[in-house]
Structure 1
Amino acid sequence: MSPEELNVRKAIADVELIRRVLDQAEQNETPVQTAGLFGVTLTANLILQGLALGVSALLLLIELLSSGALTEMLMLGATFPDIRVVGIGLIAGILIGLVILLYFVIWRAARNSGEELNAYIVRNFRYARLLSYLSDLLLKFTAIALVMLAGHPEWVPPLLLAFTGDYLVQGRLFTLPTRLAVLLGTLCIATGLYQFLAQIPTLLTPLAVFTLVALISMTRLIRLHRGQVEAVV
């Protein structure tokens, strides 16, 4: 074998060695905490999904105990235009509050990890950095607002089911296995379509579905968190 061939093989071996070292370094630098939703840490994930589950469960409880008071209030928008505006403003206020809460949780997680907020978002929270999550929320809010302004509040419950299915398929809001998420997302969208065609205006169905999915996701997330704690111990 000529010296040139030996030099080429040696250079290739050196490159492979460098790549192995770099790959190992990247694996060592990968935080143990990052998993699941948005790439955010499990602790922040637990807080976010816990809040989502709590809010949906509270609304579901109100709807059940009041015999559909939330649905009746929603349907009043078809008769009284002023109520439509109030309803849209209320939804906008809730979304703004949720966004503020979202970034507060991220800020707390960044503070606990000893990182700057921007660096933490870039490393762990891709959707917050790219603003795709906020634009998605804005798009969904616009759809609901247009439906209410058009005088068809009965279309809101099917839309909520479709939005839940969309989040499941995208894997944005829930921490579920891919196949299960896609299956549940498809079922949610199909249920929303059926509710739309059957003209069933109740909010009970979307609230119950969202609460159930959030509960399943939260249960899985708690198991992941326990496994992480046991691994550290």
Structure 2
Amino acid sequence: MSELLKIATSQLGQKEISGPEDNPTIVNYAKEIGLSWINDDETPWCSVFVGWCALKAGLSYSKSALARSWLHIGTPVNVPEPGDVVVFWRESLLGTSGHVGFFMGYSQDLKRIYCLGGNQGNQVSISAQSAERLLGFRRLAKSTIISLPEGVLRKGDTGEKVVQLQDAMKAANYEVGTSDGVFGAKMDAAIKLLQANGGLKADGVYGPKTKNLLNTILNA
């Protein structure tokens, strides 16, 4: 069994707490991957769980709570192995809702895919998902260390430090446009989103606190 699956299976049975209380383990999944705005166990957390497992295994991971964000992480595979990420659509094929977990195998008739994931019956479990809702399989790669620029950067700044920051933000799965060295509107919006997700003041200014937050996400 891969290290990733060992980590994921160790969490089997973690479940939401009904009522006003929240399971601190589930809340911590989100905080450890940089989504500190999630402070309950009722916000959909399938993507959060997969991200936490990948983080602990030293693999690339999505910094988004959206299941379909995993379609852009790792590399696509046509013949999956246990532990590969599997993404399904939910509600509508062309919509934005989805579900994500770890592939465990097919049913004998190939109509169902066994998935180890979070938020399945409000807990970490292995469940059968319809193969008709499959969007794709992804194989995760080892996470790479990314250096970040020093100093303070804000909207209107230009230069190599901005290019470095743009590349780092894209590696963290934030949309900033082309790495052209111009701190423009897209970069400003992405920095504010990063700050909001990390519980910082969303002022769009890249400084020591924002650098530490981004560094934690990229190099954890």
TM-score where L is the length of structure 1: 0.26
Greater strand percent: which structure? Answer: 2
Greater helix percent: which structure? Answer: 1
Greater relative CO, 1 or 2 (CA 8 Å, sep 6+)? 1
TM-score where L is the length of structure 2: 0.27
Q: State the structure with more CA Rg.
A: 1
